[in-house]
Amino acid sequence: MSAFAARWLAIGAALMLLGVLFGAFGAHVAAARLAPHDLEILRTGVTYQQFHALGLVLIASLARDTGEPGLLRVAARLLCVGIVVFSGSLYALAFGGPRMLGAITPLGGLAFLAGWAALIWHALRVVRHPARSSSPDA
């Protein structure tokens, strides 16, 4: 496994672990302390974090299988930024952070969209140029 694939596998797994912790915290501790609306905001942050952390694990696997990490690197970074901005702002809002943080949440959503678009672009390049993506040393 390349250093790139190992790094993003570890980051994705760590973000999944944190997502499980935040979800458990929300279900067992915060549920008694947060208003229902704030608890739903927390759950949304956890859900998006977990789905996109799985996306990072997928990217690590693709890097191992297809090589050529250029667009995969872009996709991974964008998904990571999306997790921090989107889920992070929702976590802050759920726990009483300034409501103006809601204004940056969509920027995290845009990062998610751009990350998935980069992954689509990578896939299309692999289909068009399979010989370029056969190197396992991405």
pLDDT computed for residue 104 by the predictor: 95
Let me know: does 18 contact 52? Beta carbons within 8 Å: no
Tell the residue number behind the tokens 């964008």, with chain if given: 78
Q: What is the DSSP letter of 85?
A: I
> How far is C-alpha 90 from the chain's CA centre?
14
Domain extents in the chain: 3-133
Segment 19-78, tens digit of pLDDT = 999 999 888 888 888 899 999 999 999 999 999 999 999 999 988 877 768 899 999 999
Does residue 8 or residue 27 have the better pLDDT? 8
Question: By C-alpha distance, which of 28, 19, 23, 129 is closest to 71?
Answer: 129
Segment 74-128, tens digit of pLDDT = 999 999 999 999 999 999 999 999 999 899 999 999 999 999 999 999 989 877 7
Angle between helices 105-128 and 70-82 (to 10 degrees): 160
What spatial distance separates the first Cα and last Cα of the chain, rounded to whole Å?
Answer: 9
